[in-house]
Amino acid sequence: MELYRLGIAEARAAIDKGEISPMELTAVLFKRIESLDQKIRSFVTLDKENAMLQAGRTGRDPAHRLSGIPLAVKDNICTEGVRTTCSSKILEHFVPPYESTVTKNLKEQGYVLIGKTNLDEFAMGSSTENSAFAGTRNPWDITRVPGGSSGGSAAAVAADMCIAALGSDTGGSIRQPASFCGVVGLKPTYGRVSRYGLVAFASSLDQIGPITKNVKDSAILLNIIAGHDRCDSTSADVSVPDFTSVIGKDIRGVRLGVPEEYFIKGMDKDVEGAVKQAIRKLESLGAVPVPISLPHTEYAVAAYYILATSEASSNLARYDGVKYGLRVGGNDLLDMYMNTREAGFGAEVKRRIILGTYALSSGYYDAYYKKAQQVRTLIKRDFERAFTEVDAIVTPTAPNPAFKIGEKADDPLQMYLADIFTISVNLAGVPGISVPCGFTSQNLPVGLQIIGKHFDEAAVLKIAYAYEQATDWHMRRPEL
């Protein structure tokens, strides 16, 4: 097997046995990036010199679970001394003076940072077409999008340009690109993983998680990045189990909710067929499908795009050209603010700031923001009721496979609907994973979403692993 095809567990075993060295593995990946990334555009920043130095300093060290393992990090997660742009002109030259908690945890386990991956600007998008630098392309078909906003991370993993990657998920931004690119993407429970050092989009929805080649690797990374953090006031002080301990456990008798609202008119027939076949496979493994209803699902997109844009309007007010980031001068202070934001923010970011500012404005707050919060509560209660009957919920990750580049660029509503099956999970704060479950007639990957109870990532991973091991979809790779 080519070294770049290794996952975390396989690479760790090969390094520990002395079969390969961290420097050798890192060099192979940079060679792969040099040959492929001109057409995929997964990376915003590469850190080859430091990566090779770090790889040279590491070796066989069982105490460090990621010793010598080259990973990529989404470019909205702060890395001390390494540029963090959020794929925005306003932060194009920003170098953080501090480390995010998740990358600090990875550092303590000996990882090698190979580079920072592309995203929709400030994580606002579903296609990674909104990057200020270049759009990322899907390794399975470079005329199509990789999904978003973590499209750079998903494409890099799918194209074997890194061993695994971190992404962030506000409304589906890990799971949807994982589905489009045929890899595994896990959004943990809100509060399970520290957000300290994650550049904020919507603070009550954002969550960091792994994008990997297989389910076991997601469990390994979650073990490392999960846990309470006093630097994040929303971090949950709950115990963290060993998520790898559930890998391989029997799923006989596990009740799987199948919500009628997630099989809708207009969804791609190949996607629907692949997901229903996946549910039958889970049933053959002993799981018990149970029809359920999540009745407020139809209001999720509307509620999300009020709440997320409102929080974005507040969070992005800090980019004014005063303390850091881009500064464009003017005749006075107000001129400088306006000129900086006009030049620094892209069209989608401006659209969302305007929407959020409007929703929060005097006279409209109760009609929009307050009402959306009430709908959010109803959606959360839908999940709570469902989980009194079932152990987990299975759905399609997205209603369609990867769409053509530019296909939805001029229709924001259609773009927003690309996340229709993932948004509710963020509104409710529950964990969800996307695993490959088939391909369309055009050879495009399809993702199965498995949703769990609050802080029950173990159940989600157990079910996902059982399905993965009973199929071979995760072993397929794009021809590049």
Q: How many CA atoms lie within 13 A of 330 on its CB side?
A: 17
Catalytic residue among 100, 131, 173, 179: 173
Task: Return all residues near 203 (Cβ < 8 A) that are at least 6 apart.
Answer: 195, 234, 311, 315
Helices (DSSP H) in 41-100: which residue ranges?
48-57
Task: Return all residues near 352 (Cβ < 8 A) that are at least 6 apart.
Answer: 124, 308, 309, 312, 313
Active site residue 74: yes
Active site residue 462: no
Per the CB < 8 A criterion, the answer to whether 167 and 147 are in contact is no
Residue with tokens 């309470």: 228
Helix (H/G/I), strand (E/B), else coil: 359: helix
Catalytic residue among 42, 74, 104, 126: 74
Alpha carbons 371 and 375: distance in angstroms, whole number: 6
Active site residue 233: no
Alpha carbons 327 and 348: distance in angstroms, whole number: 20
Per the CB < 8 A criterion, the answer to whether 136 and 151 are in contact is yes
Phi, psi of 109 (to 5 degrees): -100, 5
- Give the tokens for residue 151: 């499209």
Helices (DSSP H) in 160-228: which residue ranges?
175-181, 215-225
Per the CB < 8 A criterion, the answer to whether 209 and 166 are in contact is yes
Catalytic residue among 149, 150, 194, 310: 149
Catalytic residues: 74, 149, 173
